[in-house]
Structure 1
Amino acid sequence: MSILLRVEGAMVATLAIGGYSLFGSSWWLFVVLFFVPDISMLAYLKGPKIGAICYNAAHLYVLPLMIWAAGWWSGSKLTVSIGLIWIFHIAIDRALGYGLKFFSAFQDTHLGRIGKNA
């Protein structure tokens, strides 16, 4: 099952980067914003449960899809771009096997265990 979810992530990433490219947004913006969702990992300093909650909130498709849709409907190129960058980030994470986190530890994800002991 995790292989299918990883392939799905790769396909979503392809669509997001293709959409971003067609939209003609700045690649500097892409580079600057790509890792922003990973700032949520700092919440792990407060423990695995808080860390997982914050990480998962930043790595669900819901918020970036809402941002993308708001940009689309309002005609804001910047808002559409931010949504697509965020969607791409999540999709690449999923394609690489970095899934949503369980409360037990950062390494325990819905796509399986990650890290040296995987």
Structure 2
Amino acid sequence: MSTRTLQRVESAVVAVVAVVAAVAWYPSWWWVLLAAFLLFDLSMVGYVRSPGVGAACYNAVHTYVWPGALAVVAIVTAAPLPPPPVSTAAGVAACAWAFHVGVDRMLGYGLKLPEGFDHTHLGRTGKRAAPSS
């Protein structure tokens, strides 16, 4: 299995775990994962300025660091049932964010390189993408 394939499978697992966590821990809020899905792609607005700024903006949002930090906030602020609003909001946001990043990477949209939107750490995207091996 190639490294690219392994990273895409790993990202699919992250997306599935995020959905399972949202449904298990926040059953009345699972829909936020779908409703907020495109919200994270607003980070692409940096491409209006330049490919380098666009890549920096996109990469700042499309990392697992922020969903991980929100998950820590959700855990630290959790109390006996029912969980407080801060814990629920942080947990739902963490699941939605991790789901988005996982799906993006599963589809081959990795972290961007300053050369252009279709240059990622997972290889090229779009029409010039190399066939998966």
1:25, 1:77 within 8 Å by CA — same for their partners in 2?
no
User: So what's the TM-score if we normalise by structure 1?
Assistant: 0.95
Structure 1: segments with no counterpart, 5+ residues: none
Q: Unaligned 5+ residue runs, structure 2?
A: 79-86
1:1-118 mapped onto 2 (5 Å cutoff): 1-23=3-25, 24-75=27-78, 76-118=87-129
Question: Could you tell me whether the CA contact under 8 Å between 1:13 and 1:92 is conserved in 2?
Answer: yes
The answer on whether the counterparts of 2:33 and 2:95 sit within 8 Å (CA) in structure 1 is: no
| TM superposition shift of 1:27 | 3.5
Runs of 4+ in 1 over 3 A off after TM superposition: none
Count of equivalent residues: 118
1:55 deviates by 0.1
Q: Percent of aligned positions with the same letter in both sequences? A: 41
Q: TM-score, normalised by structure 2?
A: 0.85
Q: Root-mean-square deviation (CA), in Å?
A: 1.0
Which of 1 and 2 has greater Rg?
2
For 1:93 and 1:25, locate their aligned partners in 2 and report how far apart those are by CA, in whole Å: 25
For 2:98, the aligned partner's letter is: I
The 1-side partners of 2:112 and 2:119 are apart by: 6
